[in-house]
Amino acid sequence: MQILHNPSTLSHSILELVGSRLIPAYESPARISSILSALSSRPITHCTTDIDAALHAASKVHTADYLQHLRTIFPQSLEAGLIEPSGTLLPECFPSARLPGYKARNKTPTDLSARTGWYAFDLSSGIAEHTYTAALASADLARRGALAIADGEKTVFAMCRPPGHHCGKDVMGGYCYLNNTAIAVKTLLGELDDDSQGQISILDLDFHHGNGTQEVFYADQNPTYVSIHGEGEYPYFSGAPEEKGEGKGKGYNLNLPISCSQDVTWELYSPRIQQAIEKLKAVRTKYLVVSLGFDTFCNDPVGKFCLAREDYGKMGRIVGELGLPTLVVLEGGYVVEELGNNCAEFLRGLEAGKASVEVEAAVEEEVKLDDSDKLDKTCEWEKVEKSEAVNGSYTNGYTNGYCNGYKTVVNGHGRR
């Protein structure tokens, strides 16, 4: 397994409004420190950001004006005296569809405060001095992960931060600035010769619906997007089962919400993950990108499920048993002191699941080899019969075709 980390992802730190208080955001650099500590016995690749490549990859998902805004809004606000260097820039007004001028105002506002709200849908994605640098570093990890998978790596974990799945083509929100998962998928698609070469599926296991990822791919049949999340929870206005995709993408978007009206332990969660796996199999997934959040953990400050550490091992195992090339992209998870251990548990399960599939395949291969001896003898015998049947005009080509055909039939009838 390749584990990818970029120290620049730690540079982003913001305040958020919770109730009536501005507090350090739950989405903090300490999350990555917790994971690094829990994975310290494993080899970790420390990356630096390839800015050009990351921007190119991000441009496949996000609009040019949005990327420009993300790069410039903090320094411009600083220069205009709207913010101090250590501050967090928050929107003050959103272009709500209920405002009469909304439809007429279809181009980016020049006023800095108006622009800050134009490209955001909530107050939990403030912009600080290093937000752009960290978001680009995070996206670059996803890009690198996708390239590694395209290159034949079987499992990659991209330690992305800030997360990405709430971020749409031109709108930030929910701690997300660039959609890392979408960037990974676009990168992977770009590496495949054409769409038919491999169905990519996204399995979103964060507590919250990945509205941004859904938005990006809503009209596409590759990738398939499957999400398990809290019903009616943040971001509130997306994630219903009726949202199934549109146009060519109809049927390639599956939302599996779970009601939080009772404690959502593994017992309630696991049937949903089985449903998700069935969908991934039904669309013949060849490459899997997991949007992995740990805010499904009991007592998470922004989640309401009640999964325990060992459940992440089970979850990882189920995903691993698909036996697919898998890129895991980190999303949420805010019980910092447990985040690293939960993450390590998922990766352990993922590896165990994959290993069990490989062992099964190896045993099957061995049995095949054993049987092929017997089958060859059968072929020898059949060859004589057939040879007589075709009146002595038996040829080598016929032998091969016949034997191969025979083997297929035998295997197909399930002798083992």
- For residue 175, the minimal CB distance to Zn ion (Å) is 8
- For residue 146, the minimal CB distance to Zn ion (Å) is 22
Residues β-bridged to residue 330: 292
Binding footprint of Zn ion, residue count (CB under 5 A): 6
- For residue 409, the minimal CB distance to Zn ion (Å) is 51
Pick 49 or 227: Cβ nearer Zn ion = 227
- For residue 206, the minimal CB distance to Zn ion (Å) is 4
Pick 207 or 287: Cβ nearer Zn ion = 207
With contacts defined by CB under 5 A, name the span among 36-44, 182-190, 207-215, 281-289 that binds Zn ion: 207-215
- For residue 332, the minimal CB distance to Zn ion (Å) is 3
Pick 302 or 322: Cβ nearer Zn ion = 302
Report the distance separating Cα 160 and Cα 157, nearest Å. Answer: 9
Calculate the CA dihedral of residues 373, 377, 379, 383 and round it to 10 degrees. Answer: 150
Pick 332 or 340: Cβ nearer Zn ion = 332
With contacts defined by CB under 5 A, name the span among 119-127, 145-153, 185-193, 205-213 that binds Zn ion: 205-213
- For residue 252, the minimal CB distance to Zn ion (Å) is 22
Find the binding residues for Zn ion in span 271-330 (CB under 5 A): 293, 295
Judged by CB under 5 A, the residue of 16, 27, 206, 220 near Zn ion is 206
Report the distance separating Cα 51 and Cα 83, nearest Å. Answer: 26
Pick 109 or 257: Cβ nearer Zn ion = 257
As a three-state string, the secondary structure of the chain is CEEEECHHHHHCCCEEEECCEEEECCCCCHHHHHHHHHCCCCCCEECCCCHHHHHHHHCCCCCHHHHHHHHHHHHHHHHCCCCCCCCCECCCCCCCCCCCCCCCCCCCCCCHHHHHHHCECCCCCCECCCHHHHHHHHHHHHHHHHHHHHCCCCEEEECCCCCCCCCCCCCEECCECCCHHHHHHHHHHHHCCCHHHCEEEEEECCCCCCHHHHHHHCCCCCCEEEEEEECCCCCCCCCCCCCCCCHHHCCCEEEEEECCCCCCCHHHHHHHHHHHHHHHHHCCEEEEEEEECCCCECCCCCCCCCECHHHHHHHHHHHHCCCCCEEEEECCCCCHHHHHHHHHHHHHHHHHHHHHHHHHHHHHHHHHHHHHHHHHHHHHHHHHHHHHHCCCCCCHHHHHHHHHHHHHHHHHCCCC
Half-sphere exposure of 207 (CA within 13 A, CB side): 25
Pick 16 or 206: Cβ nearer Zn ion = 206
Q: Which residue has the tokens 């985040």?
A: 339
Report the distance separating Cα 150 and Cα 293, nearest Å. Answer: 23
Pick 157 or 207: Cβ nearer Zn ion = 207
Catalytically active residues, by annotation: 166
Contact between 215 and Zn ion per CB under 5 A: no
Pick 220 or 300: Cβ nearer Zn ion = 300
What is the contact mask toward Zn ion in residues 154 to 173, using x (rule: CB under 5 A)?
--------------------
With contacts defined by CB under 5 A, name the span among 1-9, 153-161, 313-321, 331-339 that binds Zn ion: 331-339
Judged by CB under 5 A, the residue of 198, 332, 340, 353 near Zn ion is 332
**Side chain identity at 359, as an amino acid letter?**
V
Q: What residue is closest to Zn ion based on CB?
A: 332
Find the binding residues for Zn ion in span 363-402 (CB under 5 A): none
**389: region left, alpha or beta (phi > 0 left; psi from -120 to 50 alpha):** alpha
- For residue 230, the minimal CB distance to Zn ion (Å) is 9
- For residue 60, the minimal CB distance to Zn ion (Å) is 24
Residues β-bridged to residue 127: 89
Judged by CB under 5 A, the residue of 208, 209, 314, 354 near Zn ion is 208
Q: Which residues bind Zn ion (CB under 5 A)?
A: 206-208, 293, 295, 332
